[in-house]
Amino acid sequence: MFPHPYTEADAEHWIRIANEEGRSLHLAIEFKGAAAGGVGAIAGEGIAAATADFGYWLGEPFWGQGIATAAASALVGRLMREQRFSRLQAPVFAWNPASMRVLEKVGFVREGVLRSSVTKDAALINSVMYAYTAA
Ligand SMILES: CC(C)(COP(=O)(O)OP(=O)(O)OC[C@H]1O[C@@H](n2cnc3c(N)ncnc32)[C@H](O)[C@@H]1OP(=O)(O)O)[C@@H](O)C(=O)NCCC(=O)NCCS
């Protein structure tokens, strides 16, 4: 869901979506006054209404300083306090151990491997489902 290449039109589209009223939440990650990345939760619909897809990204200069963990932890805390969702889920590309570590550090549990679930750079790869549940 992260366009590549990322155009100015993509940025404007994202800012419009982030400012819409609704159960989803899209926040910027600010570090020492600079925009460092984003973190958010996209609300499910119908029978999946209690579930949100949880995600985050950081600009490369900000990697490896604990920022994603701090941002993810803050958003999980807020969503749980507000009782917005019962389940937060995050499918992670199988080659992204840093992201899996972030999720584990904020209390997500590894649920399983979704085989051949994602097409990335023209290759079919596995993803790993992580989830945080309120109860
Ligand atoms: C994944 C990403 C969010 C991590 O952000 P970050 O701020 O560097 O993460 P943190 O510093 O909070 O924590 C990273 C953890 O992963 C660990 N880690 C980093 N590289 C690793 C690797 N190759 N293998 C195993 N663990 C690794 C770090 O040691 C750290 O764990 P620790 O605190 O126990 O030592 C960031 O690299 C990013 O935005 N990547 C591009 C977008 C992306 O992948 N988003 C997630 C999609 S699911």
CATH fold of 8-133:
Aminopeptidase (3.40.630)
- Please write the tens of the pLDDT for every residue from 96-130: 999 999 999 999 999 999 999 999 889 999 999 99
Each residue of 19-29: pLDDT tens digit?
A: 999 999 999 99
Task: Compute, in angstroms, the gap from residue 46 CA to the centroid of ligand 1.
Answer: 33
61 CB under 6 A from ligand 1? no
Distance (angstroms) between ligand 1 centre and the Cα of 47 equals: 32
Sheet holding 123-133, edge to edge: 25-31, 34-43, 51-58, 87-93, 123-133, 109-120
CB 88 within 8 A of CB 52: yes
